[in-house]
Structure 1
Amino acid sequence: MKKIFLIIGLSSLALTFTSCERDITSLNEDPKHPTEVPSGVLFASAEQALMDQMLSASVNRNISRFFTQQWSETTYPDETNYNMTARPIPGNHYNRMMASASATIPSPGVLSALRDARRFLENEGVDPVMKKNNIAMIELVNVYAWANLVDTFGDIPYFGALKATAENPGNAEIPYDDAKTIYLDLIKRIDAAIAMMDTSVKGYDKDLIYKGDMVKWKKMANSLKFRMAVTLADVEPALAKTYAEAAFNGGLFTGKDDNFGLQTFPSGLLSNPVFKDVIQSGRNDFLPSDVLVNFMNTTNDPRRDIWFTKLKGAYVGGPFGDNNVFDDYSHFTDVISGENAQGFLLDYTEITFLRAEAAARNFSVGDTAANLYKEAIKASVLEYGMANPDTVVTTIIANNPYNAANWKKSIGEQSWVAMFNKGFQAWNFTRRLDFPVFVNPAGSRVEGVPIRMFYPVDEYLVNSSNVKAAAAKIGGDKVTTKIFWDKF
């Protein structure tokens, strides 16, 4: 059977999904000129699309770094004032996760590429054990992408998304599903993926991240489950404890080498997304913000020297929400914006902070919250290869001691610093722990610092009744409407 590689241009009527997604693929099939594409290539395309979107600093499609006020802007401060309508930012994020993001440079989106990889895999005659490993890898990237969409929007179309079938491809009316129900189903999918893995056999050799190493993928699976479990802690504490302890016992990341992402981005088309947006673009649009830099200055944080340049011997952040002059403030170093800099979607530093949080919540995760807090800070220091890491950690801890009586503040502030340049990861910590406390800039276009994104405008055009019902159910399609797990 011929394998048809679908390149889908982004439009409001051209959204595709994996296993639980809209199926309008017949619109793009050319039975007279099919193209052979191995499922492993499609899987690698999905990984690349996921990293590109999650790590991007483009104001057109990923402004998560502004939600946590770690970056500032220069000439055009619309996005630091949370204007998400002048540019269709929520829709661009939603669609890049779902389908192709550019009509001029077509490429598969995360979920559409995974859907096709899973479908094409059935006809490749792969060894049964390797096939199971490949399916597990596909499922785990699926879960990561779906969880991000829930964390970003809340209720989304999921279970009923196959309503638009090949027999009725124009039907874009897809019901929205309850966010918590989706989350619990995603955790079941992680468990199923783990169960089918054989760590003695490789998975896809074209895998960009782990090269098919199923030992690494198993750690990723448990670490992703652990992240999602801790995320549930305020709304389902007993279930969160059960899931988190099971994931911990299954084996989490144990060091930087386990991180889900790239230790070094290659040059060219697949270079560091931050490099593309900050350096290669030729535009001086971004600065470290005064919110972050002032906090780190107050605590004399040694990580400043790794991340930021000095201005007249000092670290100076650009005022958040203001129109800033680029040359008047510190800039990012190559560690952050270099072409070959690292980029991670889930990492040992994050997992160790999550372990500290879990321990503070009395989960059994192998150590005390205070010890894990220190270990998480050390992981952050080691992540960037800082010299004399023990001395650096001692300095940071001395100025940011762990406070068991207010652990949310301790862990919240330090995880926020450590998640610098990891916008979505930082956003999850700050929303759940409510630290640091952000101030809405004076020129803000919304009623508060965003804790979710609006639903995409296109959904109101092609899926109107369902998106309106979803908005009413969650308490309004507002940036201040909390995601289900954000209880406090």
Structure 2
Amino acid sequence: MKKTLSILFTGSALLLAGCDSGFEELNKDPNAVTADRFNPAYLFTTGQYNTAKGDETTSLNYAEPFVQHMATLSNVGIFDFQGDKYVYHKGNNEAMWKGTYNANAGSSKLIEDVIALSKDKPQYHNLYHMARIWKTVIYHRLTDMYGDVPYFEANQGYYQQIYKPKYDAQKDIYAHMLTELEDATAKLDASKTLYSSADIVYAGKIDKWKRFGYSMMLRLGMRLSKVDPAAAESWVKKAYAGGVFTSFEDNMFIRGADKAGTQEVLTNGQSWTLSVSGRSPGKIAKTFFDYMKSHNDPRLKHTVAVYTDPTNVATKNTDPAVQKGMPNGLDRITLPNDPSYDPKAPGQEHQFSGVNRDVFAKLDGPRMLLTYGEVQLLLAEAAVRGWIPGDAAQFYRNGVTGAMKSLQQYDVSATITDAEITAYLTANPFVGIADKEKAFEQINSEYWVATFLNGYESYANVRRSGYPKLTPINYPDNETGGTYPRRLRYPDDEPVLNADNYNAAVARQGADSFKTRVWWDKP
């Protein structure tokens, strides 16, 4: 009997073991999307797009008025450009941070997923290295605006169960980004799968991606010019030797995907474009307008417009002779006391120049992230410093030319002719390298013009170079006491949700305020 039971139990155990080994396969959904079946290229497309479309309010409302491209009368409200007064607005101060780290559609989360899903998989060779390069696009803007940020442990909740990532020192972030650019750019291979349909910037063209990677290296290398000149020189030399942008057709930008604007309203509430096109958006700052007008810049006629009826595009006047920029730091109470104000003009803010909506406010227009004009102007500065061979004057001319030709990528109506470019360069020749500070001022002032509406980059370069020399404003109860702002504050919930790491960052970097400098922004 015992022998019979033993045989039964043994047989049952074997049967159960056999059945159990088949349950796993039997219960697999053949239609389910799993990591081994999912093509990460789909995430890459969205990651690229969200880099340009997820955080524009921080750029417009803070960075653009910080550099005095834009001004406004108001100091409250969602479209009122708080950077004009150096005042705090929770939503716009945090928009870039939230857009980067959002757990569902944040640009950094999507790109981290691409990297994780494509690493060590030969079929995704180029996609993996493109994603590594793109990660530097995302994080260099973020760390430039806030300073120390989560980087090495960011977006690792699923992969490593890290839910409270540490803030990394900006110095370490920059070091890693530069080495990533060097390695990833060198490993791009035109003989492997190109992912042309997934790449909404360069359609998988490896030659353009390589120039893009080295141009990013140039930008990040130049960012170190004050804090670590030796490292800056080394990286700039590597970038130049590798091969940077060669024409404005290499410009790195992302176009809006929704010409009608319906999806923009559904997903973002209001888009960058709709903000610029609204009835009372920011106006062109007097500082920016006067600089361009005093240099007889042909870009001015395409950049600005006065709308006597702000709701009707047909009423615009683009003649700079009858226009003016709005001074920064005014409100509706103080404006009438300013010499710029004309009490006979219709309305208050609408007597000042706004952005030409036909050029810059197209729903399917480009968002410029890195341009040939910028690259050539950075090379001009590097040549003045003696870091690279070549003629600084020629780099300067290339930079101005490239910046002017880039306008046609916004709209063909904004094309600057070769004759107009030649006339501008003749009237505003390069000052030469005998006086380096004058050369730096001229080059970086042109960089400031070239980065109009790319607030993140313009703000970073103004802090790095010190040019143009902007007069800070001192609006009542501002965040800096009338000194120039050096960064944005961390989101209000960080001291609660990630307290230990937030406190460590503040202890290392300095007070969590607009006045604290980021690492590379050395006095």
Instruction: Give the structure-1-normalised TM-score.
Output: 0.82
**What's the offset of the Cα at 1:460?**
1.0
Picking from 456, 460, 472, the partner of 2:495 is: 460
**Correspondence for 1:446:** 479
Number of equivalenced pairs: 441
Q: Residue type of the partner of 2:364?
A: N
**1:162 Cα deviation from its structure 2 partner:** 7.2
CA shift, 1:323, in A, is 3.1
Task: Tell me if structure 1 keeps the 8 A contact 2:62–2:93.
Answer: no
In structure 2, the CA distance between the partners of 1:392 and 1:164, relative to structure 1 (3 Å rule), is: closer
Rounded to whole Å, the distance in 2 between the matches of 1:59 and 1:186 is 23
- Amino acid in the other structure paired with 1:215: D
Which residue of the partner structure matches residue 220 of structure 2? 228
The equivalent of 1:40 in structure 2 is: 41
Q: Does 1:99 align with 2:85?
A: no
With over 3 angstroms needed to count, the CA separation of the structure-2 counterparts of 1:388 and 1:419, relative to structure 1, is: same
Structure 1 residue aligned with 2:505: 470
Question: Aligned ranges for residues 242-281 of structure 1 at < 5 Å?
Answer: 242-262=234-254, 267-268=259-260, 274-279=272-277
Deviating more after overlay: 455-464 vs 439-448: 439-448
Q: Residue by residue, what CA displacement relative to the aligned partner does 1:211-270 show, whole Å, maximum 9, x if unpaired?
A: 111111111111111111111122222222221111111111111221111368651457
Do the aligned partners of residues 167 and 350 (structure 1) sit closer, same or farther apart at CA in structure 2, a change above 3 Å counting?
A: closer
Summarize the Cα distance change of 1:265–1:315 in structure 2 as closer, same or farther, 3 Å threshold: farther
Measured after TM superposition, the shift of residue 163 of structure 1 is 7.4
- For the pair 1:299 / 2:295, whether they are aligned, the reply is yes
1:275-326 per-residue CA deviation (whole Å, 9 max, x = no partner) reads: 23222xx442221111111122222222111111255842211221223634
| Separation (CA, whole Å) in 2 of partners of 1:242 and 1:341 | 36
- 1:219 aligned partner: 211
Paired AA for residue 85 in structure 1: Y
Are the counterparts in 1 of residues 273 and 362 from structure 2 also a CA contact under 8 Å?
yes
Q: What is the one-letter code of the residue matched to 1:354?
A: L
Measured at CA, do residues 122 and 354 of structure 1 come closer, stay the same or move farther in structure 2, by a change above 3 Å?
Answer: closer
**Quick one: distance in 1 between partners of 2:114 and 2:155?**
17
Q: 1:46-61 to 2 correspondence within 5 Å?
A: 46-53=47-54, 56=56, 58=57
Determine if the alignment matches structure 1 residue 380 to structure 2 residue 393: no
Contact 2:133–2:184, Cα closer than 8 Å, also in 1: yes
Amino acid at match of 2:241: N
Say if 2:107 is the partner of 1:110: yes
Letter in 2 for 1:232: L
Residue number in structure 1 paired with 2:365: 341
Deviation at 1:449, TM superposition (A): 2.3
Assess if the C-alpha contact under 8 Å between 1:201 and 1:214 holds in 2. no
Q: Percent identity?
A: 23
Where do 5+ consecutive residues of structure 1 fail to align?
1-30, 101-106
Match of 2:379 in 1: 355
Which SS does the other structure have where 2:167 is aligned?
coil
- Could you tell me which residue of structure 2 aligns to residue 184 of structure 1? 175
Cα deviation for residue 167 of structure 1 reads 7.7
Other-structure match for 1:140: 133
Structure 1 residues 340 and 433, CA gap change in structure 2 (3 angstroms): same
Does the alignment pair 1:389 with 2:442? no
- The counterpart of 1:329, out of the listed 352, 368, 391, is 352
Specify which structure has the higher proportion of helix: 2
**Structure 1 residue 144: Cα displacement:** 1.3
Counterpart residue identity of residue 375, structure 2: I
Distance in 2 (CA, whole Å) between partners of 1:301 and 1:162 is: 45
Alpha-carbon distance change, 118 to 456 in structure 1, aligned in 2, over 3 angstroms? same
**Runs of 5+ unmatched residues, structure 2:** 1-28, 265-269, 307-316, 333-347, 409-414
Residue deviations 1:39-82 (CA, integer Å, cap 9, x gap): 1111011001101136x2x3698521112110112444560344
Distance 1:116 1:267 in 2: 29
Contact 1:176 1:466 in 2 (8 A): yes
AA partner of residue 152 (structure 2): F
Q: Deviations over 1:140-167 (max 9, x none)?
A: 1111111122211222222344775668
Measured after TM superposition, the shift of residue 373 of structure 1 is 1.3
Deviations 1:112-166 (A, max 9, x none): 111222334469xx7x2x5110101111111111112221122222234477566
